[in-house]
Structure 1
Amino acid sequence: MGRPRVVGIVNITADSFSDGGRYLAADDAVAHARRLWAQGADLVELGPASSHPDAEQVGGAEELRRLAPVLERLVAEGVPVAVDSYLPETQRFAAAHGAACLNDIQGFPDPARYAELAASDCTLVVMHSVQRVGPATRVATDAEAVWWGIERFFAERLAALTAAGIGRERLVIDPGLGYFLGAAPGPSLTALARVRRLKERFGVPVLVSPSRKSFLRAVTGRPPAEAGPATLAAELYAALRGVDYLRTHDVGALRDALAVFAALEDAGRGAPAGPEEV
């Protein structure tokens, strides 16, 4: 198992599906980001708007009102920050104010912005979704059809971005999970199981975020507040498949699980073979 980088989620929103309203105030968001950083996050991601099917959509002015005081304080403290938004004005503000990474659930669809993106230094997380435009919706999808759509999407979008002068070393791909792939769990389970195929085909880092997502809740029947064990199982599975980034709500639990897994692997390599292993 490789050592994936851990991205801690801070939802600066009123209606995120798992913790909406808890970190809407700037002081609360900064305090939570500091906790995630102290727990071992490699990157703290700020989300100024929710993208689940039932979320209220907000405009750029509101995103910036929520984001600006949190981003500026964290950057001043030396915390590496990602910003999760598909709005151009939010992305521009984030890049100009020290964000290390931009995460776009639409996968940076506008070629008119590619020169601007090429001129920045931000890492770009190119996410796939079956919706292509806007937030997640509840749609019926077929797992195999979604998988081939994922491959086609990244083949086309990575080619377009690199042709515009954006280096592959700045690109990370995210197949999308949960409602971004459909209402049923099958497409998300398939995408997570085939993470290694994405790495082998496209040769860029892969990020996944199963944390508390709908497909896990469908499998277990648990609400978001009780989805911790299912989340951790999916995250460890992804780590074993070689994923490069894990985006999570619970940095401490994931860090502990990865540390124990690494210790067990080290012990296994040094142990003599038993009769059942010969």
Structure 2
Amino acid sequence: MGRPLLVGILNITADSFSDGGRYLAAEDAVAHARRLWSEGADIVELGPAASHPGAQQVTAAEETRRLTVVIDRLIAEGVPVSVDSFLPETQRFAAARGAMYVNDIQGFPDPAQYEELADTDCRLIVMHSVQRMGPATQMKTDPAAVWAGIEEFFAERLAALEAAGIGRERLVIDPGLGYFLGTSPEPSLRVLAHLEQLKARFDVPVLVSPSRKSFLRTLTGSSLSEIGPATLAAELYAACHGADYIRTHDVAAIRDALTVFNALDAAKVGA
């Protein structure tokens, strides 16, 4: 199976749904980033603003203020960094500061920005969300309709980015999970069950982030504090079915699960 790259989530926010306020101070954020790195993260992703429904709006100036000390220290220590922001000013800052990835939950919607993105070296994580079709309460939740929307979105967006001079080798796609796909678990389950089809369709690396997502809590009836086992099951399934990147809060759990899984697979082959 190999192993997908593990992206450790570091929310430098006041209101993230799972750990808001814990890492707002730069020293706390750096310490947690180092912990994620030591646990096996291949990349540490810094999120300066929450993205769940009802999250506070954060200006680009505030995002860069939250990021500056943390990104500078991590890059100086040789830690590969991704920055999760849909604000062009923050994306520009991240690329100039040495981020290896920029993750846009809106999927880089502004063609006027593409020429500038083409001149950077960072890879672009292009995320799909049904929120672009309307408020969360009006999202389509039919799995087939959501899947068709995902294919249409990536076909159009990847073509536009490539036409602007952004090499396909720099692109990573994220189909979105949880509330990004609707208000019921079924669209997220459909996506995870068809990751190999998504990879075959677009021939670019795929990132998924089921970690602590609402669809798992709805499916299992578990609280946020109890959602670790369900998260791990979804992550391991994704890893076994073609995910190239797993974006997670608990790096150590999926690292150990993959280590055991691959050891068992190797033992079977050698038997």
Q: TM-score, normalised by structure 2?
A: 0.97
Deviations 1:200-253 (A, max 9, x none): 010000000000000000011112221110000000000110110000000011
1:228 aligns with 2:242: no
The 2-side partners of 1:45 and 1:133 are apart by 27
Structure 2 regions of 5+ residues with no counterpart? none
- Corresponding residue SS for 2:252: helix
Asked if the contact 1:106/1:133 (under 8 Å) is kept, the reply is no
Distance apart, 1:133 and its partner CA? 8.0
The answer to which of 209-218 and 223-232 deviates more is 223-232
What is the aligned partner in structure 2 of residue 199 from structure 1? 199
Distance apart, 1:2 and its partner CA? 2.9
Q: What amino acid maps onto 1:60 in structure 2?
A: A
What is the aligned partner in structure 1 of residue 136 from structure 2? 137
Asked if the contact 1:100/1:122 (under 8 Å) is kept, the reply is yes
Asked if the contact 2:45/2:82 (under 8 Å) is kept, the reply is yes
Asked if the contact 1:140/1:184 (under 8 Å) is kept, the reply is no
Asked if the contact 1:195/1:243 (under 8 Å) is kept, the reply is yes
Asked if the contact 1:6/1:41 (under 8 Å) is kept, the reply is yes
Aligned residues: 270
1:259 aligns with 2:259: yes
Matches within 5 A, 1:59-208: 59-132=59-132, 137-138=136-137, 139-208=139-208
- Corresponding residue SS for 1:131: helix
CA gap of 1:29–1:133, structure 2 versus 1, over 3 A, is farther
Q: What amino acid maps onto 1:68 in structure 2?
A: T
Asked if the contact 2:30/2:70 (under 8 Å) is kept, the reply is yes
Q: Point out 4+ residue stretches in structure 1 off by more than 4 angstroms.
A: none
Distance apart, 1:140 and its partner CA? 4.8
Deviations 1:79-131 (A, max 9, x none): 10000000001000000001000000000011111111011000100000001
Distance apart, 1:67 and its partner CA? 1.0
1:246 aligns with 2:246: yes
The 1-side partners of 2:132 and 2:194 are apart by 21
The 2-side partners of 1:180 and 1:106 are apart by 10
Asked if the contact 1:17/1:224 (under 8 Å) is kept, the reply is no
- Corresponding residue SS for 1:242: coil
What is the aligned partner in structure 2 of residue 219 from structure 1? 219
The 2-side partners of 1:199 and 1:2 are apart by 16
Q: What amino acid maps onto 1:35 in structure 2?
A: R
Deviations 1:26-60 (A, max 9, x none): 11010000000011100000000000012111111
- Corresponding residue SS for 2:109: coil
Distance apart, 1:63 and its partner CA? 0.9
The 2-side partners of 1:54 and 1:223 are apart by 19
Distance apart, 1:142 and its partner CA? 1.1
Distance apart, 1:132 and its partner CA? 2.3
Distance apart, 1:78 and its partner CA? 0.9
CA gap of 1:161–1:137, structure 2 versus 1, over 3 A, is same
What is the aligned partner in structure 2 of residue 20 from structure 1? 20
Asked if the contact 1:82/1:99 (under 8 Å) is kept, the reply is yes
Q: What amino acid maps onto 1:211 in structure 2?
A: S
Q: TM-score, normalised by structure 1?
A: 0.95
What is the aligned partner in structure 2 of residue 276 from structure 1? none
Distance apart, 1:181 and its partner CA? 0.3
The 2-side partners of 1:144 and 1:111 are apart by 28
The 1-side partners of 2:111 and 2:182 are apart by 26
- Corresponding residue SS for 2:130: coil
